[in-house]
Structure 1
Amino acid sequence: MKERFLFVLFLYLAFAIVFSGCRTADTTVGQTAHRVALQALTSRNCKIVLEEVYIPSDRPEKLRTQQITGSYLVVKGDRLSAYLTREVDSSKLFFGTSPLNGGEADLQIGEPEVRKNGDVNISLRVQGSQHYRVFEWVMTLYHDSNQCFVQASKVYMAGNFSFKGRILPLPEN
């Protein structure tokens, strides 16, 4: 009986050690991805891959969520370029006089603010070819990840939408 108890205890400890090591490795990978994403964004040389877009509906209590693939934004210096796929059934993501309808817009990036939980907030101001084609976003880069959520804050004739995505660095040229 005592031998069985010791065997079970040893097995439990072995599992605890193995799984705690996996968690540490996951955290380290997440921290590295977070650091690389933040560096790429602040150096203004990154790609933001859109994964999910939230578009307001005619009922304010229910946003429409749309999974998308193949769409991304490229930040190079003070320019934001949009590469958007149009799915057959989907509504237009960037409509009317949105700054992104032309594919490119000017970009201003604010200073990163680190929150208590480790997330980083950054303001983005996008302006198209006309002075009134402007919108402002608040981006949250999640702690220990390259995942971000971008919420529309001030919208001036630009289409009110938010999205979730990933920030990836672009190769240096």
Structure 2
Amino acid sequence: MVLLVSQASAHSDDPGFVGGFVSGFTHPFYGWDHVLAMVAVGLWGAFLGSPAIWLLPVVFPLIMALGGVLGIFGVPLPGVETGIAASSVVLGLLIALAQRSPLWIAVVIVGSFAIFHGYAHGAELPSANSPLTYSVGFVLATGLLHLFGIGFGLVAGLPGGTFALRTAGFAIALAGLSILFGFW
């Protein structure tokens, strides 16, 4: 019987394999689409000021979890990859153009994109080693990326900071376009 046992998959090289907390925590840092969008949420929140500075980064993971549930249950959602790439383009442009949307519009925009990000990862959770710990790691990493965006966004209050913030928004939008059209 020992000779018939297959290799253990404790350290799988399969890129589709999803592990526990560490896998969930590191995953957002390896996808530029996620990094760009999460930093942009924090940047735009910082640009909009209170209460958006804390509300947008809270709304995103909450709605992302809803999208994740839709993905887990296989509810059809068309254009997921396009929605994810478009999140960087739209959020980047909102920052670059110094768009001061009313809070409810900002929440709707951020929440709409959160559904796509959550759906994509929820669809891969059923194969996870530990879906709960993967999700916790993923949400914590998402929060850290939001905090990075907020920290960078706070430079807008410094002399010359608005230019840096708008330039970052423009760079995020360009990177999002390159992802959207398959150049990256």
Q: TM-score, normalised by structure 1?
A: 0.27
Structure with higher helix content: 2
Select the structure with the greater relative contact order (CA < 8 A; seq sep ≥ 6): 2
When Rg is computed on C-alpha atoms for both structures, the one with the higher figure is 1
Structure with higher strand content: 1
